[in-house]
Amino acid sequence: MASFADFHARSLNDRDAFWAEQAQLIDWQTPPQEICDHSNPPFTRWFAGGTTNLCHNAVDRHLKDRADQAALIFVSTETNQEVTYTFRQLHAEVQRVAAMLLELGIKKGDRVLIYMPMIAEAAFAMLACTRIGALHSVVFGGFASGSLASRIDNATPTVVISADAGSRSGKVVPYKPLLDEAITLAKHKPSAVLLVDRGLSAMNLVEGRDHLYGPLRDKHLNTEVPCEWVDATHPSYTLYTSGTTGKPKGVQRDTGGYAVALAASMKHIFQGNPGETYFSTSDIGWVVGHSYIIYGPLIAGMATIMYEGLPTRPDAGVWWNLVEKYKVTVMFSAPTAVRVLKKQDPAFLKKYDLSSLRALFLAGEPLDEPTAEWISEALGVPIIDNYWQTESGWPILTIANGIEKAPSKFGSPGIPMYGYNVKLINENTNEEMTEPGEKGVVVIEGPMPPGFMQTVWQDDKRFVDTYWSSIPGRMVYSTFDWATRDKDGYFFILGRTDDVINVAGHRLGTREIEESISSHPNVAEVAVVGVADQLKGQVAMAFVIIKDPSKVADDAAKLTLEGEIMKVVDSQLGAVARPSRVRFVTALPKTRSGKLLRRAIQAVCEQRDAGDLTTIEDPMALKQIQDMFPPA
Ligand code: PRX
């Protein structure tokens, strides 16, 4: 076995040879002409001139050896469904959806917005898009009409695919009315909407625009739609994520680089083998769902479980039951889910035969030591923390046991992966931090490895300005995360440098929540901060100045208004973005130049020292908040 240090060094020093080797993990219609084109930094073009197809690599390629093996296992504990699709069946379903999309006028390069619950049709839809060279843009089903409308306007999809409803904790959550409202709100009007009718909620169909999936599928039971061979640099999808401004960014991914990056990660990091089962508990609305529910496992020839439901229904053994039943070898989840399970009876973990499981990967938010220890003890398999972002598409920091076995350290996601030249930079001096324990911003030196975002959809300038311009005089990519590194090179993530918060592993922009709250007619000013939470990692807390203070004259009035404001956020952004509390103040702490002192507010809410307050305009403003959160 090679040493990981050598493997990593080679990925940077002998980059083209290294990635040309990795590129052999996937099928090419025509081989790449150029491995890495970095002639126009910070943009990187991987495997240009090569033609391939993501859907071919995820589905068709496996027909030769494993057509009748499981590919997609759909499990819903909400609707009590459990359906296994073999690669052959998946291939047929994907072609049917591809045929429907072609009939609805979709061409290569067009966008298809997918706003769906965790059902098999959502996976078929994603794969159908990449099959025909259309870009999918999946919007998390938990987002409401306002979020959806802004994404429709940015992606300008020709077709939207949705469903009558999702279900959560046994309660039907209608999607169609939210979609209709979003299309009304949006300037861009999709020409067609394709709707899966699960029989959960009645739908009003819009004549000429809305089509039912079932009857259209029946028309195409035997239609064959070949894969469209696209250049490796052809975009495969956009996926929206939050940043510093209120406007979400469309992260644009390529085709060839992404396929190679995922195939390599499945081998070196996740160590999943063809014929085995992979279970990621994420949602297709997030990047983990794209990379490690759909594309990564399927590219590796594994069966992948798509799960609709809670980890605790019908009981806290439901996931472990699936591990036993489908002989899951690799599992991927988030620390919050583990913290939820930790509160349940530990007997549920002992009830099932978990001997197939080799590792549990956790990502998306900091993994605290007690949680890591508990689950590691309970499962008796390695718990592998991994740090990455929507932007990167695959892990930046973790350990690659497929190259060389390395110990995990509790509290650390690990070390930089091959292809990533990671540095810590002091924000004030812009110097590189090289001593153990020094704190800095995690940055990555270009060129970025395959799989990394190509650009911000239709906004190259925003890509450069947002990610590559934060360290003056040095064109490096900023992750906007603080970290330290120990003497063995292991990183410890300390939190975001920007206004992004992480609630139960969901990345949210506080600016977006503030904009939503500001639309309430009584709100004059608002600040939203992320506050540490035992279960969810962080929760959003809102501080609001009311235009007419008589509206919050007593506790009952405050409670009513708090409820109203929460409803505004629910209906515009979705319950995921709802602040846990809305508190009313008469002033917000700002600097003399008028900048909100969010960090000070956050510190006070967490009963920490507020830090340097020399620039504060009105100390009484912070005092009001301090009085609400007296130091412990
Ligand atoms: O702040 C970091 C945190 O989540 C952010 C990225 O979120 P998202 O774009 O949703 O991608 C998640 C992909 C797994 C990062 O900037 N984060 C992610 N993983 C970790 C983490 N923080 C600490 N430890 C992690 N393992």
> Residue 543 pLDDT more than 70?
yes
242 lines ligand 1 (CB under 6 A): no
Atom of ligand 1 nearest to the CA of 506: 10
How far away, in angstroms, is 552 Cα from ligand 1 center? 38
388 lines ligand 1 (CB under 6 A): yes
Mean pLDDT of 225-231: 98
The pLDDT score that the predictor gives to residue 593 is 86
Contact 346, 487 (CB under 8 A): no
> Residue 44 pLDDT more than 80?
yes
Mean pLDDT of 398-422: 96
State pTM to two decimals. 0.96
| Residue that is written with structure tokens 């990795």 in the block | 22
> Residue 615 pLDDT more than 90?
no
Mean pLDDT of 326-348: 94
Secondary structure of 124-190 as H, E, C letters:
HHHHHHHHCCCEEEECCCCCCHHHHHHHHHHHCCCEEEEECEEEECCEEEECHHHHHHHHHHCCCCC
Mean pLDDT of 188-208: 98
287 lines ligand 1 (CB under 6 A): yes
State the chain's mean pLDDT as an integer.
Answer: 95
> Residue 579 pLDDT more than 70?
yes
How far away, in angstroms, is 388 Cα from ligand 1 center? 5
395 lines ligand 1 (CB under 6 A): no
Mean pLDDT of 61-85: 98
Mean pLDDT of 61-68: 98
Residue 316 CA: distances (Å) to CA of 110, 277, 312 = 42, 21, 4
Mean pLDDT of 426-435: 91
- Name 492's Cβ contacts closer than 8 Å, sequence gap at least 6: 411, 412, 483, 484, 485, 486
CA angle, 398 as apex, 425 and 309 as ends, to 5°? 120
Contact 270, 251 (CB under 8 A): no
**Side chain identity, residue 539:** V
498 lines ligand 1 (CB under 6 A): no
What is the total residue count of the chain? 632
The pLDDT score that the predictor gives to residue 48 is 98
pLDDT digits (tens, 9 = 90+) for 315-334: 999 999 999 999 999 999 99
Helix (H) or strand (E) holding 326: helix 318-326
Contact 158, 110 (CB under 8 A): yes
The pLDDT score that the predictor gives to residue 474 is 87
> Residue 1 pLDDT more than 70?
no
The radius of gyration of the chain from alpha carbons, rounded to an integer in Å, stands at 24
| SS3 of the chain: helix, strand, coil, percent, to 5 | 35, 25, 40
The pLDDT score that the predictor gives to residue 82 is 98
pLDDT digits (tens, 9 = 90+) for 138-147: 999 999 999 9
Contact 537, 527 (CB under 8 A): no
> Residue 386 pLDDT more than 90?
yes
pLDDT digits (tens, 9 = 90+) for 90-108: 999 999 999 999 999 999 9
Ligand 1 test: best mutation among 143, 291, 384, 388, most atoms within 8 Å of CB? 388
> Residue 631 pLDDT more than 90?
no
Contact 479, 443 (CB under 8 A): yes
364 lines ligand 1 (CB under 6 A): yes
In the chain, the percentage of residues whose pLDDT exceeds 70 is 100
